[in-house]
Structure 1
Amino acid sequence: MKIEQLDIPSSAIEFLQKNGYVNLYPPQEKTIKAGLLEGKSILVSAPTASGKTLLAMLAIIKHLSEKKGKMVYLSPLKALASEKFNEFKKLESVDLGKNLKIQISTGDFDISDKSLGQNDILVLTNEKMDSIIRQGAEWIDEISLVIADEVHLLGDDDRGPTLEIILTKLKLLPQKPQILALSATVTNADEISDWLECKLVHSEWRPVPLSEGVYDQGVITMQDRKKFEIETSVRGPPVDLGLDSLKNGGQAILFAETRTRSVSLATKASEAVYRTLNNDEKESLEKISQKILNDNEQTELVKTLATLVKNGVAFHHAGLNQNCRDLIESEFRNKRIKILASTPTLSAGVNLPARRVVVANVTRFDAKYGANKPISILEYKQLCGRAGRPQYDEYGEAIIVANSNSEEIFDYYINGIPEPISSKLTGDKALRIHLLSFVSTSPGIKGEDIVEFFSKTLSGSQERKTTIKFHIQITLRYLESEELVKQKGNRYIATEFGKKTSTLYIDPLTAVLFRKSLEKISTKGHTLGLLHVITSSEDFFPKFSLRNKDYELVGTLIENYADQLIENISEYDCNRSLLAIHAWINESSEIFLSDNFGIESGDMHRIAETADWLVHALYEIAKLEKKDEILIEIDTLRSRIAYGIKKELVDLVRVKGIGRVRARILFKNGIKTTEELNEIPTEKLAKMDKIGPVIAENIKTHLKKIR
């Protein structure tokens, strides 16, 4: 089927053709024939790169051309949401009889932000959508199309329950919005589509054929049982497999089980890859390497990355900050970086394919079990999905490195069927969060109606009603005992504390910890104590455990700041993230954090981001509990966390354009308050380090707005 045959406006057809869409792929054609453009709800279960994004665009175009309601695109990841936002934004150039308004929102929802409801297309993370539903935004009743991406993540322990709850609520809306659910190929897609009340379009078709195999002792056995050998070296099998792909002009992603291994694999590959580069490539990579050094604090990790990039290789993991990760992804797409060693996080989200994917190890450390465990078949298939680039490759290859038991690995992973998706909603944490949210948004709801709603979730379709009821009763008992909900007769309502917990989007366990900690405070001056409460809460992430050498550091910290503690604690009650956040708010550099605590820039960003959210929640609970005497202290702490500054700089960073570096420079030059900043002439301000005329003018302009 050709694009021009579709029942959409000619302006849209012309736009799509200009963007390279001429013929529909088989899964796309099947979806159109299943009624996508007639408003039918559909679950598309198909491999990576089989054209699911175009289906989303076609559904949006159809709704826009018929001037239906609002369209919501749901993503599990911020990076993926950003990628899709940029793609959908191109639709603004299409004449569909109205000015298209599109907005992305991936952060915490602010009830005063009414601009979201003024848009036609909203690109949201699942958590953001959940938060919006909890806030009771009126425009939810105008939603006519829901596009849910990566729906196979319903089976994910962390992300699955939220996606399950919002899809349950959206499909139960009175206006019955059209649902387009997009998923990797899963075993029980028919069960998921029945639950979603969608037609199922299942396809194994890929635009680039994928061949899977297992490497053992220098020989690769592919799924058709053909064997071939590769040149081996002391660099090890994963690197040898990557270098072998380069010989034929391909790129390779080496999936490593840990951050350390990803750096090690990139390092081992660097010298050999460098020998394959031409002079133009070397010159380009030299500039990219220098950019990495210029734009980031030069921690050992950053310097290692810059050195490796010069050789045409890189590593990618969560320890790198977003600047570095974005640059690496971009240069890999541009084919300047030839081999990329990455942790498995790269398998989800952004589109970053390579001709050959190498799975260096099929085991991962599982913190819950405290030991290495084999990855699931579904996760392996997701890693495979990165192999084969449309427009670049005629084929893709995914190869597992088998250290032993190659036949067993072959049978389990290559010939294996991915595990069926099973709901994780009745886990303790997920249920207490979403049960409280449901009661909070349904005041006076009967116990049997709560059970009835949860029986309409995926969990409800997979478990007995009596089992669901049992889990709900236990969870309600906990919520009642901590005064988050109250029961009157057979009806339940959320208390003010419960409502606040739900709208703050925190785990009830976190809220209870915050309230109990606040009850123990009667004076000011509890910075370390508040940081300890935040970093030990259920919602805090990432929590880095203490290494042997950290116990003495924590012990000294507790001893030096004993007067700031809320209760007596020992080093065994602390984690390394507490050390990092305390050092951060005392203006420690990224180099110091890396060298002393092993906390890299990307880690520190996530620690600060999570702490900022939780300290805001702490502030709101303190307000609710009428702990007015410590509100200023908590608010000050939030500024310190956001900017990584000592208390003396809090006033200065209120001015837009002044962060931790410029604030410290101003302070050293005798400007310690916004009053003093207002008095200094612009010309004198401009002469200071890292300021200059343009920034000085901007600072003065923004200063007027806060005075």
Structure 2
Amino acid sequence: MTLWVLSYAEKSKIIVMAIKDRMKQPLYVAELHVKESYKGPRPHKIRLLTGKKKDEFIPPQQFIELLRSANRIMLAEGGDSSNEIAFLEMLKGFQLDADRVKICKHCWINKRFNFVNNKSIKYNNELICWECAKEELLRAVRSAGVNYGEKSVDFLEQVLSKTRDLDRTVRMLTPERLDPEFTRYDTIRTKPAEATVRIKNLPLAKKFKEMLLQKSETLLPVQALSIEAGLLEGKNQFVVSATATGKTLIGEMAGVQNLLDKKGKMLYLVPLVALANQKYDQFKERYSKLGLTVSIKIGAILIKTSQRVKMQTSPGADIIVGTYEGIDHMLRSGNTDFLGKIGTVVVDEVHMLEDQERGHRVDGLIGRLRYAAPEAQFIYLSATVATPEAYAKKLGAQLVRYEHRPVPIDRHLLFSQENEKAKLISQLAKEEYSTFSSKKHRGQTIVFTNSRRNCHKLAGALSIRAAPYHAGLSQYERRKVETLFAKGELPVVVTTAALAAGVDFPASQVIFESLAMGIDWISVQDFLQMSGRAGRPDYHDRGIVVLMPVPGKSYTSSQSDTEEEVAIKLLQGEMLSIGVEYGESEQLEEILASIAVTSSVQDLRLIHNLMFGSFDLDKQISRLQSYRFVERKGNKITLTRFGKIVAAHFLPVSKAFLIRDAVLEENDPLKIVTNLEFFDAAYFKYSNQIGSSLHVNMPSRVFQGATLDIVFDGESLSQLDAKIRELMLNFASDFLTCVCKDSPYCGCAEQKFSEKIIRLRTEELDPTNIIKKLEDKYGISAYQGDVFGYLDNAVRNLDAVELIAKVHSKKGVAEEAKKLKKKVQG
């Protein structure tokens, strides 16, 4: 047995611990009083600290024997100096000595024992042991008044272990004093550039080479890897590298050089209209100098207004920038030949193949293009793919992978409460905007939030100039924000996760105000895509990513993780491949679309072998025959008139049948299109005031169940301000008057409201004035982009109604649909 005696000198006494075999819990703790005698200081009273009412004492002689038998006697530093001297003198009188040691004072207070050293935890200007530091951290977490999850506590312990500083770790729980040293989670380092490829040595056309040399003498690393892998030799490539590493130029080099070599035009495909607009502007400015023409295909812009930006849309241009659906519409309409000879197809953000809603269309489009342009060079680009090797193999392309960022990124985790966020974001954005990079660019910030309304709310709450940006804005409004940001005149853009992952904003800082998209947590893939927007090599020396989770927060009762736990998962996360899978309805849609580009069953099989999705082609063809969408004779297959309409209008089979049945019943075309698709993106302008008056949490969306409950309740309306009550009564009398059993949840209100929007459009009102009318009469607002989008879709659906009515010889319905379509178009 090893026996230690540890002592600590207080003012009037010395506390002594007897420690067996280095155990942290002592055998006993005693209080020693030393008394002067003619022989010097000697033990007088040794009282055991047992916590019992009756005192227990150790005889002095027994205590002396304990000291003599101890393997080690220790005196803790930091005690009362006069009592320390007395204790050491007493030991000297017994021919004993003591080692000076540093102990954890927190352990000592709790009658435990532990040493500390330079590697122990800093706390309140002293050192404490790891166990006490963890206890103090848990105490701070519990007293924070917020429900931190288990993973969050684990993370905080990791921070404590890494920093060895409890003050700093605890300060993460109260982020009023922003200090990047306290909030930094990690730094993603960049890698020094490898040996580069010089542009002057590339086999490019002279004018094109001169243009590239104006910007740089060498290629970026991923571009060099692509060249080495045969980019300029016509090889198909799947390029995976982080945002801002220079992927776009890889597609441009192949496409422009192929154009100049007379190999055919370039198609550049993107998922978002906003991104297509941006690329169109960039390519037009850049390549018109080489005598190349540029056009855009983003689906027909069917609503004429003064705010629409005029753009070249000819399919005969040398470079066509398009959304996936914009180009696919040409193929589905049987107009593949209008595209002419295709030399290069660039598919940007190709990981959209895994998107649940649009993935099947991206899959079908790529298969159809590979069939229609077999000689073309295909370049696929993505920043985030979980299984790139599998993708490259299926796409018939060589994988070019570069895993390093162009600039380092500091990632910060900032636990915060909802009411603190605007202040914290303002502070972070101001600090960033006041900073200039070595390239003389100001620091600018993108803030991601989970809804369009939050974009506006948060942008308005910041104490620095900020603008909302989302798909609900008109094209004109979005373009204005893009321009101001590009010029460095706008410090902050607040946007939604759904939109801005692809739009090119040269930001140095990305802040996640929310970690959700709507009410669903963002995926690791989305997070990497979005955080990759921070730090551009042409603008910045480094990027900053800040996550601002609210501890304990979740968006639905079904979510087991809380927001701060999701934050930690995202920071630590590995991407998972969802795969490209889709159901029967989507399979039927893609087969119909593919029959639009071939009349051979054999070739149809070839197209579908090129696709990721797998299904029983013969079985689905038989089904389409039974629906009278296609006709087959041996190896030959063609679309019926009905089938052509369904394919060209991107109609799911179920929707096509709804239109056909309504046409056969000779329903009003306005009723048909408003039953097909409701306008549900309407908001009560005064939802906050209504909520306050009724003491309820009033949803802002008009057609949420809880909202209709409140409006439908006469007693609730009587408690409202007179002006708001009048608006609500107008809404109720115009849209909530049906006699359906399930009213107001029968869909009639949504259908009537959708009719109202279309009728207002037929009165020659543009979306801005339509919204003003709705606000004035019902206190209901909407975003211009949503109204544009709804009217565009209404025109497409009316076109389908007209054509299907003609197929079934319903001339009256066809004529009414045509008239209404023209009025809505304007």
TM-score for the superposition, normalised by structure 1: 0.71
Q: Is the alpha carbon distance of 1:190 and 1:155 closer, same or farther for their aligned partners in structure 2, counting shifts above 3 Å?
A: same
Find the counterpart in structure 1 of residue 220 from structure 2: 25
Q: Equivalent residue of 1:358, what SS?
A: strand
The separation in 2 between residues aligned to 1:377 and 1:357, in whole angstroms, is 16
Q: 1:83 aligns with which of 278, 282, 285?
A: 278
Find the counterpart in structure 2 of residue 359 from structure 1: 512
Structure ranking higher in helix proportion: 1
Whether 1:585 and 2:585 are equivalent positions in the alignment is: no
Whether 1:4 and 2:200 are equivalent positions in the alignment is: yes
Find the counterpart in structure 1 of residue 817 from structure 2: 634
Find the counterpart in structure 2 of residue 269 from structure 1: 462
1:436-474: CA deviations, max 9, x gaps? 22345444637xx756643431124xxxxxxx22xx567
Q: Equivalent residue of 1:342, what SS?
A: strand
8 A Cα contact 2:342 2:373, kept in partner: no
Find the counterpart in structure 2 of residue 45 from structure 1: 240
Q: 2:494 aligns with which of 326, 331, 341?
A: 341
What is the CA-CA distance between 1:510 and the residue it aligns to?
2.5
Q: 1:399 aligns with which of 546, 552, 555?
A: 546
What is the CA-CA distance between 1:575 and the residue it aligns to?
7.0
The separation in 1 between residues aligned to 2:785 and 2:563, in whole angstroms, is 36
Q: What letter corresponds to residue 204 of structure 2 in structure 1? A: I
Q: What letter corresponds to residue 522 of structure 2 in structure 1? A: I
8 A Cα contact 2:506 2:533, kept in partner: yes
Q: Is the alpha carbon distance of 1:593 and 1:2 closer, same or farther for their aligned partners in structure 2, counting shifts above 3 Å?
A: farther
What is the CA-CA distance between 1:136 and the residue it aligns to?
4.3
Find the counterpart in structure 1 of residue 589 from structure 2: 433
Q: Equivalent residue of 2:268, what SS?
A: strand
Q: Is the alpha carbon distance of 1:73 and 1:318 closer, same or farther for their aligned partners in structure 2, counting shifts above 3 Å?
A: closer
The separation in 2 between residues aligned to 1:124 and 1:613, in whole angstroms, is 18
Q: What letter corresponds to residue 389 of structure 1 in structure 2? A: R
Q: 1:128 aligns with which of 326, 344, 362?
A: 326
Q: 2:231 aligns with which of 22, 36, 39?
A: 36
Q: Is the alpha carbon distance of 1:480 and 1:358 closer, same or farther for their aligned partners in structure 2, counting shifts above 3 Å?
A: same
What is the CA-CA distance between 1:433 and the residue it aligns to?
1.4
8 A Cα contact 2:364 2:594, kept in partner: no
Find the counterpart in structure 1 of residue 145 from structure 2: none
Alignment of 1:251-400 (within 5 A): 251-270=444-463, 273=464, 312-365=465-518, 372-400=519-547
Q: What letter corresponds to residue 244 of structure 2 in structure 1? A: A
> Percent same amino acid among aligned pairs?
27
Find the counterpart in structure 2 of residue 520 from structure 1: 665
Alignment of 1:10-159 (within 5 A): 10-18=206-214, 20-90=215-285, 92=287, 99-108=291-300, 116=314, 118-134=316-332, 135-138=334-337, 142-159=341-358
What is the CA-CA distance between 1:600 and the residue it aligns to?
2.4
What is the CA-CA distance between 1:40 and the residue it aligns to?
0.7
Q: Equivalent residue of 1:458, what SS?
A: coil
8 A Cα contact 1:259 1:317, kept in partner: yes
Q: Is the alpha carbon distance of 1:431 and 1:269 closer, same or farther for their aligned partners in structure 2, counting shifts above 3 Å?
A: same
For structure 1, which segment, 201-210 or 476-485, has the greater mean C-alpha deviation from structure 2 after superposition?
A: 476-485
Return the index of the structure with the highest Cα Rg.
Answer: 2
Q: 2:703 aligns with which of 528, 535, 546?
A: 546
8 A Cα contact 1:594 1:600, kept in partner: no
Q: Equivalent residue of 1:104, what SS?
A: strand
Q: Equivalent residue of 2:414, what SS?
A: strand
8 A Cα contact 1:41 1:179, kept in partner: yes
Q: 2:412 aligns with which of 198, 213, 229?
A: 213
Find the counterpart in structure 2 of residue 465 from structure 1: none
The separation in 1 between residues aligned to 2:775 and 2:788, in whole angstroms, is 13
What is the CA-CA distance between 1:179 and the residue it aligns to?
0.8
8 A Cα contact 2:498 2:517, kept in partner: no
What is the CA-CA distance between 1:43 and the residue it aligns to?
0.9
Whether 1:601 and 2:601 are equivalent positions in the alignment is: no
Q: What letter corresponds to residue 514 of structure 1 in structure 2? A: I
Alignment of 1:460-471 (within 5 A): 460=614, 468-469=615-616
Q: Is the alpha carbon distance of 1:614 and 1:7 closer, same or farther for their aligned partners in structure 2, counting shifts above 3 Å?
A: same
Whether 1:162 and 2:365 are equivalent positions in the alignment is: no
RMSD over aligned Cα atoms: 3.4
TM-score for the superposition, normalised by structure 2: 0.61
1:250-278: CA deviations, max 9, x gaps? 222211111222222222213xx2xxxxx
Q: 1:414 aligns with which of 552, 563, 571?
A: 571
Q: What letter corresponds to residue 83 of structure 1 in structure 2? A: Q
8 A Cα contact 1:497 1:624, kept in partner: yes
8 A Cα contact 2:592 2:639, kept in partner: yes
Q: What letter corresponds to residue 329 of structure 1 in structure 2? A: E
The separation in 1 between residues aligned to 2:757 and 2:489, in whole angstroms, is 35
8 A Cα contact 1:555 1:571, kept in partner: no
The separation in 2 between residues aligned to 1:629 and 1:234, in whole angstroms, is 58
What is the CA-CA distance between 1:315 and the residue it aligns to?
1.7
Q: Is the alpha carbon distance of 1:49 and 1:577 closer, same or farther for their aligned partners in structure 2, counting shifts above 3 Å?
A: farther
Q: What letter corresponds to residue 544 of structure 2 in structure 1? A: E
The separation in 1 between residues aligned to 2:635 and 2:337, in whole angstroms, is 29
Q: Equivalent residue of 1:265, what SS?
A: helix
The separation in 2 between residues aligned to 1:116 and 1:386, in whole angstroms, is 32
What is the CA-CA distance between 1:485 and the residue it aligns to?
3.0
8 A Cα contact 1:105 1:124, kept in partner: yes
8 A Cα contact 2:348 2:381, kept in partner: yes
The separation in 2 between residues aligned to 1:474 and 1:175, in whole angstroms, is 27
Whether 1:624 and 2:807 are equivalent positions in the alignment is: yes
What is the CA-CA distance between 1:554 and the residue it aligns to?
7.4
Find the counterpart in structure 2 of residue 299 from structure 1: none
Q: 1:504 aligns with which of 640, 643, 649?
A: 649
The separation in 2 between residues aligned to 1:15 and 1:60, in whole angstroms, is 15
Q: Which runs of 5+ in 2 are unaligned?
A: 1-196, 303-311, 437-442, 552-561, 683-700, 713-728, 740-745
The separation in 2 between residues aligned to 1:83 and 1:321, in whole angstroms, is 14
1:492-531: CA deviations, max 9, x gaps? 543221122223333332222122111112xxxx7xx423
8 A Cα contact 1:541 1:606, kept in partner: no
Q: Which runs of 5+ in 1 are unaligned?
A: 219-231, 274-311, 366-371, 461-467, 563-568, 644-707
The separation in 1 between residues aligned to 2:250 and 2:646, in whole angstroms, is 38
The separation in 2 between residues aligned to 1:594 and 1:432, in whole angstroms, is 42
Q: Is the alpha carbon distance of 1:606 and 1:118 closer, same or farther for their aligned partners in structure 2, counting shifts above 3 Å?
A: closer
What is the CA-CA distance between 1:25 and the residue it aligns to?
0.7
Q: Equivalent residue of 1:518, what SS?
A: helix
The separation in 2 between residues aligned to 1:481 and 1:352, in whole angstroms, is 50
Q: What letter corresponds to residue 283 of structure 2 in structure 1? A: F
Q: Equivalent residue of 2:203, what SS?
A: coil
For structure 1, which segment, 178-187 or 346-355, has the greater mean C-alpha deviation from structure 2 after superposition?
A: 346-355
What is the CA-CA distance between 1:176 and the residue it aligns to?
3.0
Q: What letter corresponds to residue 363 of structure 1 in structure 2? A: A
Find the counterpart in structure 2 of residue 662 from structure 1: none
1:557-611: CA deviations, max 9, x gaps? 579999xxxxxx8626737444433343344643223453322222211111111
Find the counterpart in structure 1 of residue 751 from structure 2: 574
Q: What letter corresponds to residue 771 of structure 2 in structure 1? A: E
8 A Cα contact 1:355 1:397, kept in partner: yes
Find the counterpart in structure 1 of residue 188 from structure 2: none
What is the CA-CA distance between 1:89 and the residue it aligns to?
2.7
Find the counterpart in structure 2 of residue 177 from structure 1: 376
